[in-house]
Each structure stands twice: as structure tokens, then as C-alpha cells.
Amino acid sequence: MEILPNKTLLDYFYHWEATTPDKIYLRQPFGDDFVDYTFKEAGQQARSLATYLKSLNLPPKSNIGLVSKNCAEWLIADFAIMMSGHISVPFYATLTDAQINQVLTHSGCEVLFVGKLDDWAGMKSGIPANVKCISFPTYNPDASHVQWNDILANHAPMTENYVPNLADIFTIIYTSGTTGNPKGVMLKYGAMASVIFHTRDIARLHTENARFFSYLPLCHIAERNIIEAAAITMGATIYFAETLDSFAKNLAAAEPTHFLAVPRIWTKFQLGILGKMPEKKLNTLLKIPILNGIVKKKIRKGLGLDKAVIILTGAAPMPNSLIVWFRKLGIIIQEAYGMTENVGAVCMMPKEKVKDGTVGKIYPGMEVKIAEGSGEILTRSNWNMDGYYKEPALTAETIDTDNWIHTGDVGELDAENYLKITGRVKEMYKTSKGEYVAPAQIEFGFADNNFIEQICVVGNNLPQPIGLLVLSDLGKATDKQVVKESLETTLKDLNPKLKSYERVQRLVVLREPWTVENNKMTPTLKIKRNIIEKEFAPKVDSWYNKSEAVIWE
């Protein structure tokens, strides 16, 4: 099917439903088995759900909520919402009762699809009394809800193809809320259509028999782009991860042609490889011509990436050293950069012309400029968000009168239109010496130490920064003295490369890891810097004043 700037996601869905009805669209694992949905089957379920939604006689273009981990029903429900002429409002599956209450109340959703969740019992009390809930089948459905299978049994599939206007809002995506309450980013059908059109070549959207693997939150713009939008554009098959424990098995079964992983996943992959083959042995084998190709192929196949035509990273900064490390294994990771407000599509690294230290080349149709003085990255395109839902003042702070989105990121643009990220406006802090520090850039300097899994550089009003870190599994399994000496060596090697006021004075090894569950990470595995800084603020001064370079909490 030809990719055009005026085709919506529904247009592509209708096309594949009509022309390839028996092709498998969704593959949902249950242990060693799969439940498969063809385009026809997914379409029939979505159409029955749409008939039910229309029967509720909600006002046109009502907001309808969706809370679930990734699964086949997530996408079927999302298309049902679109087919019924309403607006889908997906939420993170890790929200607490108070958090789900806040976004449901703010968005005004009167209907909520409830799916695959780890703690529905803990979330349930946050659902406003006026919200009608629909339970997905299979995943411990709540008996008090309207049941998915009952809807399918009692509502005939709608036969007409609802065609939205390109100017209509198709979704409101609530940001993960790393600072303050989440904001509802309103995106139009036309914005997604334009992104798909302008990125079709670099994203390899003409690949035949394409396969995708879905595991990052589908309510995040990155997964919404790659899994929902790109896959339906291509008529591709989508595989899902069943659980965290089955992730590796599910990925190997999928053998995706298009794969996205956030930096923390790439770090996990690296540590997994090194756990089986130490760096010294790996480097030795890669130097032997006859073994080089065999080792690379074995590693790619072991990860499930031997069929991949495009391998991406995004959603958080990726240390260049990690990209280079995978490149020596024949795994070319292309970094992509964007934010929900510009549909996650500002730039991507071309596979044929990699420029290390940048996050890629600006997409066709996207304008980028660097603000004078602050160095903030500004973007403008016809896929700008429509604004923040019910938040005109916040919208005005983000999109100026010339339609430039103020990203909050600081960066540089070179003569070839490659973009480099050097910091984040809100993350920069002032030392007691009055100098501004961008912590993310310092943190990259620790990426080569495989004893470190997570690090957060802090130091507001300290003379020099200190690093709070969590050890990797490899670090935890290694003798404490060996780890200490390794961390000291990393400090000695890194600090001379930094500006004098950026040099890290201490490293503090913390006991507890940072996870989504303990609110130290977002659902897309970025650290919540403000939460970490606030929790450890009372201890920072005493750690700073100790004499040792490396301190154990």
C-alpha cells in the first residue's frame, strides 16, 4: 500500500483487513503457545467493540480511557475507539490509585478499558464512580465490569468504515510525569499521518513480511509510533512479551525486523553477553577472522536480532560508548530523538552515515533551531501537538507564537543537520561556586564501567558533584575491593576530561536499585532525577564531606 501524507491509521487498518484478512496481525504468547489474531479477526472484534461504544450515546469525540500492559487487546481496543469516532486516552499500567484518579478526572473519561495489570486491586479504588469499565478477557477480568466477550457476543460488528478528518484529535497521550502532574498531549490524525510519510524511507516502512516486538508501554509515543503506527502502515505482524521473565524467549520467537530498545535494555543485553563471555575473551575472538563472523552471528541470533533490518534506541539518552560497543558485534543501533509533543519524531541516525556523538539527522519536514543564549532546542513541523488538554497556559509556555516547540533540551546543530544533545534545561543545576552543571553528560562518562547499572549525578549547591549509583548484577557478584578499585579508576580517568566544576568528588554505592515499582524510574526506564535527589538530599552533605572517593551506603 502506498504511504501518503493524508492516510490515517484507520485507512491502513481497513486496507489490510480487506486485502489480507487471513494474515496474522497479532501474536499473543501464553507460555510456549500463541493466540493469534488475523487482520479479519482483529477487525471483527474492534468493530463489535465500536458498535458497543456507539450504543452508549456518548457525545461525539469523547475521551475513552485504556489502562493495560501491552497485549493484543490493547491494540484492538485502541482501533475500536478510533472506529467509533472517539478519542483514545491510554494510561500507564503502573499508576497508583491516586495517579489513575488524577488523569481520569483530568481527562474526563467516562469509559475505561481495563486489561493486563499487575495490581488492579491497588488501582481500582482510584477509578471515579461515574466511569464505566470494560474488562479485557483472560487477564483476571473484574466481574463488576462490562465484559469484552459479552460485548462480542451481543453486538454485531459495525459494517461502515468510519473515516476521521485529518484535523481531528485521535489520541491524548499523558506524559510520564517526571516533573509535576502528567500533561495530556493532544495529537491529530494528520500529525501521525505526516510523521509516517516523512519517515517512511529511513524507518524502512517498505519492508516485506515485517515483524515487530512489543514490550515498552504502548501508551508512550515511541511504542505508539513503532508498534502501532509503523506496523499497521506495513501490514506487519506484532509479537508481544508475556512477562519480564519470558522477555528473552518471546524476543527470540519474534525475530523482529524492526526493533526498539531504550538504553537500559541495551545495558542489560551487554551485561548478559559479558556474563557469558568476558570482555577480554570476546575481544580476542573478534580479532580472529574465521571466528569474527561466527561470534557476531551467534550473539545476534541469541538476542533474537539476526533478522532485524533496523535497530533503534530512544526515549532516553544513550551513551555513545554503548552504541560503539554493540557496533563491534555487528549490531548497528540507530538513535532516534523526539518527544511526545512532536510525535517523537525530530531526527534519526542514518545507518549509512553514522556520526557519533549526535542523535542523528533531522527528518524531512522537521525544522530545528537552537535558541540564542539558552542553547535550547526548538522544533517546528506540521506534526506539532495540538496543545496540552485543558492546559492553555502550559501550552503557551511550550509552543511560542511562531509555532516553535520549546523542547527543554539543550543542544547543537551542525552544518549537515545532525543534532547533538548536551543537556536538559530543567536538569541543569548550580554548584555552590555558581557554575551550571548538566548531569546527564557527566553520567555518560561512567557507561564503560560494567559494575555500574544506574547512576545519577547530583550536587545542587555542593562545591562539586557526587554520583549516586546502583551496582549491576556483575558488580554485586564481584569482590567489594575489586569494585571499589574499578570505580576509583573510572573517576581518575574521567575527571581530567571534565571542566573543573564538573569533576565528581565522590561515588556513593546505594543498597536498593531504582525501579518503576519504587517510583525511581518512569515506565520507559528513565531515572526520576527529582525523586532520587529529594530522597537522598539529607545525606548528600555528609557523603560529600567524607574522605573516601567511594562510599557504600
pLDDT given for residue 343 in this prediction = 95
What are the tens digits of pLDDT across the range 4-32? Answer: 999 999 999 999 999 999 999 999 999 99
Out of 186, 216, 237, a domain closes at: 237
Out of 175, 204, 237, a domain closes at: 237
Note whether residue 318 is domain-resident: no
Q: In whole numbers, what is the pLDDT of the chain averaged over residues?
A: 91
Instruction: Tell me the whole-structure pTM to 2 decimals.
Output: 0.84
- The x, y and z cell numbers of residue 194, run together, are 505526516
Note whether residue 135 is domain-resident: yes
pLDDT given for residue 12 in this prediction = 97
What are the tens digits of pLDDT across the range 295-318? Answer: 899 999 999 999 999 999 987 778
Domain count, the chain: 2
Q: Which of 89, 65, 1 is nearest to 39 (CA)?
A: 1
Note whether residue 100 is domain-resident: yes
In this prediction, residues 67-94 reach a mean pLDDT of 97
E strands, 55-123, where? 63-67, 87-91, 111-114
Residues 6 or more apart whose Cβ sits within 8 Å of residue 103: 89, 91, 95, 174, 182, 184
In this prediction, residues 185-199 reach a mean pLDDT of 96
* Integer Cα distance of 112 and 66 in angstroms: 5
Note whether residue 343 is domain-resident: no
Note whether residue 368 is domain-resident: no
**Domain CATH number, residue 181:** 3.40.50.980
E strands, 253-402, where? 258-260, 310-313, 333-337, 347-348, 361-362, 367-370, 376-380, 387-388
Note whether residue 201 is domain-resident: yes
What are the tens digits of pLDDT across the range 390-417? Answer: 999 999 999 999 999 999 888 999 999 9
pLDDT given for residue 432 in this prediction = 66
Residue 399: HSE in the Cβ half-sphere, 13 Å Cα cutoff? 17
* Integer Cα distance of 317 and 422 in angstroms: 10
Bridging pattern class, strands 33-38 and 24-30: antiparallel
What are the tens digits of pLDDT across the range 97-131? Answer: 999 999 999 999 999 999 999 999 999 999 999 99
How many residues does the structure list for the chain?
553
Note whether residue 396 is domain-resident: no
Out of 237, 258, 285, a domain closes at: 237
pLDDT given for residue 431 in this prediction = 67
For residue 132, pLDDT beyond 90 = yes
What are the tens digits of pLDDT across the range 331-342? Answer: 999 999 999 999
- The full DSSP string for 244-282 is STTHHHHHHHH--SEEE--HHHHHHHHHHHHHHS-HHHH
End-to-end CA distance of the chain: 58
Note whether residue 495 is domain-resident: yes
Look at 225-234, 278-287, 366-375, 425-434 and tell me which has the smallest mean pLDDT: 425-434
Residues 6 or more apart whose Cβ sits within 8 Å of residue 359: 335, 336, 337, 347, 349, 419, 420, 421
User: Are 512 and 535 contacting, i.e. CB atoms less than 8 angstroms apart?
Assistant: no
The domain in which residue 199 lies consists of 9-237
Neighbours of 288 (CB within 10 A): 10
* Integer Cα distance of 369 and 141 in angstroms: 49
